Chains A and B, each alone.
Chain A
């Protein structure tokens, strides 16, 4: 039969000599490769004590942004839910009442906002669709869990700490201290 490539080797089937039967030389050869790795740079890191640096375009868990005054930016326009290919985002909107101007930036806001992380594929299309700079994908990778319920992220889980009243928490969330 004609071979497909010219790289095929003829198999040698002659019996092994006594020295070869001892395997000593082959074991030494193998051990040399093994011990030579002691002197090489380690390719692994001790997670979770050490973490690898993330790429600047890494897309992790979502956050819902606030403006400088601590008001929620999201106005429940539904563009993130429309753009979402996995249909992970759902929301319900409400009208801002008089006296709530310090809580919500626009006249309409998201009373309920949920991201189903079981469905989310972290494509970042919601971030691109958002006209109000409200939803961002952070550098935190999605944590694992034993229950499915814990993967439904509600508005309270997604909102960043208030930059006016919770400055310490915000610093911590940004990883500054």
Chain B
């Protein structure tokens, strides 16, 4: 590996950069950043062996290398193709690539139920963003019934919706590489292929919760957060705690003072960030599912969210509240409150903490309020 330090020149969409030999086109494009980066549904840089399955990152190589300037005959998957010296890559400047990507999105959506209004991943879903950018029309050309699966439970914490799965294998690699025993994998093949646990084993590993974060769609979601709230109504906050098992660096999703959800911190590519030691900051199940109180965490401050994301809607940093002059004008009295909304409204009762119940709320939860409030 003496050529590791050897730099090669690669031109992506007319932007030339130098990267170490052995870098994939996708990672080189991520160094450039912005629109030049091909989208990736299955490739996950923190997982060994991921990539090459979804074909959304297809690019055109118009010049193979300096030594062999012939273009590559077909579009190549940029997550699996390494750069060569003098390579010229076309991503958004190539009509072939755009056309192929539209086709891939249509293919991924063939069996997708499009139940975004129900899905908890909506608002932070890679497939939603991808089909928003590349979907040709609202209509599908697929005339057959979409595939359905029998409901399969993956333990008390993780909810599996097999109909939403795009078979990216990210969760399989996560379960394989983070945990000792392999209980989780893809069974059957073709149209019947499905994520499942082997022989009805529930997943009880300390780090298995990370499959929720790596899932690009809503196939694996947090059961403790299920249907509690929509992500764009929650405020993401950076927080940490002393955890003996993991780095303890997380994003809390707050509403008021209630912690609705705990996830790992994700970077601009939707991948889990590194901690200060350069290791991926996977978080353990205890941090993710069991620490749902603000007092468990040290809050560092609001997390920066891309302005393009719906999660940033109605979130304001540095709110400057105007000075309340009413008591001054009215001789020390506060204005009379004509109606306290909590007296009338059934929503967001101050004594009911939805975030503290395990699993989704049901009609029973709302019938009997003593179930919700442990005090």
Question: Can you list, as one digit per residue, whether each of A84-98 has a CB less than 8 Å from chain B (1) or not (0)?
Answer: 000000111111110
Knowing A92-B354, A94-B365 touch, does A77 contact B339 (C-beta < 8 A)?
no
Question: Which residue in A77, A100, A112 is a CB contact (below 8 Å) of B116?
Answer: A77
Q: Write out the residue numbers on chain B whose beta carbons fall within 8 Å of the beta carbon of A92.
A: 346-348, 354, 361, 366
CB–CB A149/B226 < 8 A? no
Interface residues on A, range: 20 to 34
**Interface assignment of A65: CB less than 8 Å from any CB of chain B:** no
**Interface assignment of A108: CB less than 8 Å from any CB of chain B:** yes
**Interface assignment of A142: CB less than 8 Å from any CB of chain B:** no
Shortest CB–CB separation between residue A70 and chain B, in angstroms?
Answer: 17
Q: Write out the residue numbers on chain B whose beta carbons fall within 8 Å of the beta carbon of A76.
A: 227
**Interface assignment of B1: CB less than 8 Å from any CB of chain A:** no
Interface residues on B, range: 20 to 34
CB–CB A132/B117 < 8 A? yes
Shortest CB–CB separation between residue B361 and chain A, in angstroms?
Answer: 5
**Interface assignment of B310: CB less than 8 Å from any CB of chain A:** yes
Knowing A77-B122, A108-B227 touch, does A94 contact B361 (C-beta < 8 A)?
yes
CB–CB A149/B361 < 8 A? no
Question: Can you list, as one digit per residue, whether each of A74-115 has a CB less than 8 Å from chain B (1) or not (0)?
Answer: 011111011000000011111111001000001110011010
Q: In whole angstroms, what is the CA distance A116 to B115 when docked?
A: 28
Shortest CB–CB separation between residue B354 and chain A, in angstroms?
Answer: 7
Chain A residues within CB distance 8 Å of chain B: 75-79, 81-82, 90-97, 100, 106-108, 111-112, 114, 116, 131-132, 148-149, 152, 154
| 27 sampled A-B residue pairs with Cβ under 8 A | A77-B230, A78-B229, A78-B232, A79-B117, A82-B230, A82-B232, A82-B233, A82-B310, A90-B345, A90-B347, A91-B347, A92-B346, A92-B348, A93-B229, A94-B227, A94-B360, A94-B361, A106-B117, A106-B118, A107-B118, A108-B118, A114-B347, A116-B341, A148-B338, A148-B339, A152-B344, A154-B346
Given contact pairs A76-B227, A95-B362, A106-B115, enumerate 6 new A-B contacts (beta carbons under 8 Å).
A96-B362, A106-B117, A108-B118, A112-B347, A116-B345, A131-B116
